[in-house]
């Protein structure tokens, strides 16, 4: 295959498309974990968002409404997790895994009615001549959700580092008892963080069903929720590093796809199928050993809030 400028531009556009849903889900999980909550149900929330966005778009014909429905569905499913873990103090790891199983089952059940259906595409937010230009489309040829994801990186970084609300959220994640003692609602802050994480995961899932493959297929997220979880840890809970990590993963996936198309597969397909679950094992191991290895994780991550009586 000839390495022309058009080839590299197509590669960049493809990499950005692959990376966007992972970045969205990881940003949501970053805020959740900064508040001291470990939600392993990202994959399930993405699938719930994918089917909610797809079904809503089929009925309304408007993908923007579909994205809003995906965010609402993701937030609602995350609040189920929140109620069980924050109000009832159930184990966060087990409940998150249950949420993934729940989301996978619900999306498969509802999705059977939409197999073979096609949804309308997002229109370009830029003039068509810019979006279709062979060169300029590297800047102007993306779905609006791509630009939204980049804006959210900046907003999440600014919120966590430069606002009073972000400081409160980080305080809740670092020392919940101290935050509680000076009058902050630890449970309330964590509920809001969990809802935000669910909404972002839902939008990430909708990107699969409305942009990448605008027709329904079961388990279309293909384990990307687990990759998002891993990225949060490997990015040391910093939003700018999530952007770099998500695009780096997109490059790896693109190289594998390119190698297969060229007949020279770099790694066996079984490796890519197993990678999300391998990353999950690594992440849980690192979190469990965070005190011994000096991992820069929120001090209260995964621990229930038990105020002194």
CB 145 within 8 A of CB 66: no
Other C-beta atoms lying within 10 Å of the C-beta of residue 10: 15
Q: Which fold has domain 5-293?
A: ABC transporter involved in vitamin B12 uptake, BtuC (1.10.3470)
pLDDT, one tens digit for every residue, the chain (309 residues): 456 767 778 888 888 988 999 999 999 999 999 999 999 999 999 999 999 999 999 999 999 999 999 999 999 999 999 999 999 999 999 999 999 999 999 999 999 988 888 888 887 787 777 777 777 777 887 889 999 999 999 999 999 999 999 999 999 999 999 999 999 999 999 999 999 999 999 999 999 999 988 888 888 888 889 889 988 988 888 999 999 888 988 887 777 776 666 666 666 666 766 766 777 677 777 766 766 666 778 889 988 888 865
Alpha-carbon distance of 54 to 42, in angstroms, equals 18
Structure tokens at 204: 């990430």
User: Dmax of the chain from CA atoms?
Assistant: 70
**CA 66/CA 60 separation, integer angstroms:** 8
Count the Cβ atoms, other than its own, within 10 Å of residue 247: 18
- Interatomic CA distance for residues 65 and 54, integer angstroms: 10
Per DSSP, the three-state class of 263 is coil
Q: Which of 17, 15, 39, 9 is nearest to 196 (CA)?
A: 39
- pTM of the complete model: 0.90
What is the spatial distance between Cα 205 and Cα 21, in angstroms, rounded to a whole number? 7
Cα–Cα distances (Å) from 6 to 134, 139, 145, 262, in that order, read 7, 13, 23, 17
Residue 295 CB-density burial (10 A; 0-12 exposed, 13-18 middle, 19+ buried): middle
Domain ranges of the chain: 5-293
CA 143, CA 149: separation in Å to the nearest integer? 10
Find where tokens 């900064």 sit.
34
């Amino acid at each position: 295959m000839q390495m022309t400028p058009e080839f590299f531009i197509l590669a960049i556009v493809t990499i950005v498309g692959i990376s966007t849903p992972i970045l969205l889900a990881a940003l949501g999980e970053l805020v959740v974990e900064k508040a001291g909550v470990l939600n392993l149900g990202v994959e399930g929330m993405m699938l719930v968002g994918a089917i909610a966005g797809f079904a809503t778009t089929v009925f309304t014909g408007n993908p923007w409404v579909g994205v809003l429905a995906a965010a609402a569905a993701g937030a609602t499913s995350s609040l189920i997790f929140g109620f069980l873990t924050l109000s009832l103090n159930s184990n966060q790891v087990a409940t998150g895994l249950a949420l993934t199983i729940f989301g996978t089952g619900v999306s498969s059940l509802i999705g059977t009615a939409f197999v073979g259906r096609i949804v309308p595409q997002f229109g370009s937010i830029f003039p068509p001549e810019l979006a279709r230009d062979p060169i300029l489309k590297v800047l102007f040829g993306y779905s609006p959700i791509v630009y939204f994801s980049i804006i959210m990186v900046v907003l999440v970084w600014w919120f966590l580092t430069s606002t009073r609300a972000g400081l409160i959220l980080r305080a809740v994640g670092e020392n919940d008892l101290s935050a509680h003692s000076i009058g902050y609602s630890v449970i309330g802050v964590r509920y809001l963080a969990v809802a935000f994480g669910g909404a972002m995961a839902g939008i990430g899932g909708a990107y699969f069903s409305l942009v990448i493959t605008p027709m329904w297929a079961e388990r279309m997220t293909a384990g990307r929720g687990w990759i998002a979880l891993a990225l949060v840890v490997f990015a040391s809970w910093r939003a700018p590093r999530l952007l770099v990590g998500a695009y780096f993963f997109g490059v790896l996936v693109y190289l594998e796809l390119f190698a297969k198309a060229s007949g020279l597969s770099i790694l066996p397909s079984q490796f890519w199928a197993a990678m999300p679950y391998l990353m999950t094992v690594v992440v849980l191991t690192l979190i469990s050993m965070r005190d011994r290895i000096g991992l820069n994780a929120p001090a209260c991550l995964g621990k229930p809030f038990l105020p002194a009586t």
